[in-house]
Structure formats: structure tokens, C-alpha cells
Amino acid sequence: MEYIILGILIIILVLIVVLLIKKDNSSNDRINKLEVSLIKEIGEFKTDFLHSITEDFNNQTEKLDNRLRLINDKVNERLDENFEKTNKTFENVLERLSKIDEAQKKIDTLSGDIVSLQGVLTDKKTRGIFGEVNLEHILSNVFGPNNTKIYATQYTLSNGTIADSVLFTPEPLGTIAIDSKFPLEHYQIMVDKKNSVSEREQAEKLFKSDMKKHIDAISSKYIIPGETSDQAILFLPAEAIFAEINAYHTEILEYAYKNRVWITSPTTLISTLTTIQIILKNIERDKYTKVIHNELKLLDEEFKRYKDRWDKLYRSIETVSRDVKDIYTTTDKITKRFNSINQVEIGETNDKEN
């Protein structure tokens, strides 16, 4: 750019000089020579100027090509990196979508199961079966399946009633009956905010009445003096109903306590059964501890007899040892005497021969 500006300025100066010279009519020869010289210089300058411009243009073109090549390489590198990141992101998105789709399928299945469960729970008989199965499942998980030494299901008592399950615990607890109850209809109306206040209050009264009827039935049927424990367990297979009673209906808990009936949910029943299991293990451990103590006492008596017999044997062995020593001493003396006698006989015979 600098060369171009310089060249333009020189050409302008040359033209100005030519014009000034042409005005001077006094010397045509000088004008002609000067014109020839200027034309020659302008031609040389033009040649140098074009050469410089071409060279600078080539250099700039080469630098521009190198810079464009570097930029192109950088762009390709960045594009490759971004493509790789985009590809990974796309793979992660596909993986997440597949997991979401799988989770959606499970949710759909669970929704169907919930709808099916709601259909089951609408019938009183199926609710009773649901509670019994749930109770049996809890007993099986805590004590092991078919552990008839600790519990039994559908157990018939002497008064002809059948308890959902009983626990065979040692005294003073004894046999504890467990019966499942599921008062759902009035509970659902009571907690449903869509219902009117009057409907909910009426449902609450009926819910309390249902619970007290269940408590009375368990207390009268499953507490038998001399056969069962003086208390029984009412099992609610729904944590929500148990929480509702504990939070807002403590009078039901007090009524159950007076009638010696303990209300439990799946969680609290598991805790209760686990505590009973620990008690049973401790009782068994204490029983075996007594057995071990009796065996140790018998072993102590046997050891005393063993020690007496060993002392006798030791004394006998000591006596025999002394006798053996005496015999050894006597034997040694006899041996020495025999040796002495043999030497004497040999000596006397030699004297006679001489």
C-alpha cells in the first residue's frame, strides 16, 4: 500500500515538472532531453514499482494462504472435537431416552397393578385375603418359612375360632393371636378432601365404630385364659390407616389398650416380631447355658475322680520306682561280687601252677 501511494506521488510530481518545462519555450532541446530522461526514469520506476508490488503481493498471498491453511486446520480440528462431543452427547441422550422409556413401561405396569389392587381392595373378602397374605409374608420373612415351632397360620383355638396366625412364645407371654383387619371404606371417605365436611365427619364416626368393633371381636375371640396370652394383636395391612389412628384418633388406641389389644402396621409388626425373635434366641441361649453349666459340673466330678485315681497311680508308680532302684542296687552289688569272686579264683589257680 505504501509503494502505491509513493508511486502515485512521484508520477504527479513528474507530470507537474513536465508541464512547467513545456511552458518554458526558450529551450526546446533541454525539454526534449528532459522528457526522454523522465520517460526513461518513469519506465524504470514503473518496472521496479511493478516488480515490488508483484513481490509484495506474492508474499502477502503466501502469508494469506498459510494463515488460511492454519485457520482451516484449526476449524477442522474444532469441528472434529465438537462432532465427537456431539456424538457422545447424542449417545447419552439416546441412553437416557431408553432408560426413560423403560421407566415409563414400568410406571405403566405399576399403574395397571395399582388399578388392579384398587379393584381387589374394593371387596371386603379380597381385602381380608390381602391382609392374611401380607401377615403370612411378614412372619415368613422374620422367622423363616413354615417355622411351625414359632408361629402357625389359620390356627383353630379351643373356642372354635380361627385366628389368622398365632405366635408360640414362652411364658409369661404364651400363645399370642394375631388377626388382620382392613377398615377401608369409611377411611377413604373420611380422608378424601373432595367430600363435604358433613360426609367426612359421618365417615369418621363410622370408622371409629368399625375399629372398636374389630377390637371387641379380637378381645373376645382370641384372648382365652389358660390357653392364650392375656393380650392379642390387631394387624392393619395399611400404614396410612395406622398413621391416621396414631395421629388423630388416640381414643382408639386407648380403647384398644383397655381391651388388651395391640394395633400394629406392617412396619411396627416387623419390629414387634423381631423383638420377640431376639427374646426367643436369648431364652434358647440361657437354656443351653444351663445345660453347659450342668455338663461342666458333671465334668468337674469326673475330673476329681480322675485326679484321685491318678494320685493313686502316681504313688504306685513311685513305690515301683523305689523298688526298681533297690533291685538295681542289689543287682549291681551281686554283679560286683561275682566279678570279685571270678578274679579271686583266677589268681589262686595261677599261684598253684607256679
Beta bridge partners of 261: 232
Q: Is residue 292 packed enough to be buried (19+ CB in 10 Å), middle (13-18) or exposed (0-12)?
A: exposed
How high is the pLDDT of residue 113?
45
Note whether residue 103 is domain-resident.
no
CA distances from 254 to 179, 183, 260 (A): 19, 18, 10
Contacts of 157 (CB under 8 A, 6+ apart): 163, 177, 221, 222, 224, 227, 228
Note whether residue 172 is domain-resident.
yes
pLDDT at residue 276 above 50? yes
* Secondary structure letter of residue 89 according to DSSP: H
How high is the pLDDT of residue 65?
76
CATH of the domain at 210: 3.40.1350
pTM, rounded to two decimals: 0.51
Distance CA 164, CA 283 (A): 26
Alpha carbon distance, N-terminus to C-terminus of the chain:
161
Q: Is residue 310 packed enough to be buried (19+ CB in 10 Å), middle (13-18) or exposed (0-12)?
A: exposed
CA 90 to chain centre: 30
Nearest to 215 by CA among 181, 266, 249: 181
CA 116 to chain centre: 31
Asked if 164 contacts 219 with a C-beta cutoff of 8 angstroms, the reply is no
- Higher model confidence: residue 151 or residue 287? 151
Asked if 228 contacts 175 with a C-beta cutoff of 8 angstroms, the reply is yes
Note whether residue 224 is domain-resident.
yes
Asked if 203 contacts 190 with a C-beta cutoff of 8 angstroms, the reply is yes
Most confident of 47-61, 188-202, 336-350: 188-202
Tens of pLDDT, residues 280-338: 777 777 776 767 777 777 777 777 777 777 777 777 777 877 777 777 788 777 777 77
Note whether residue 249 is domain-resident.
yes
Nearest to 203 by CA among 190, 215, 214, 193: 190
Amino acid code (one letter) for 41 = E
Note whether residue 171 is domain-resident.
yes
Note whether residue 242 is domain-resident.
yes
Note whether residue 333 is domain-resident.
no
Number of domains in the chain: 1
Inter-helix orientation angle 2-23/28-121, to 10°: 150
Q: Would you list the DSSP string of 251-291?
A: HHHHHHHHTTEEEE-HHHHHHHHHHHHHHHHHHHHHHHHHH
Note whether residue 166 is domain-resident.
yes
Domain that holds residue 182: 122-276
pLDDT at residue 26 above 50? no
Least confident of 81-85, 114-118, 134-138, 338-342: 114-118
Q: Which three cell numbers stand for residue 219?
A: 378381645
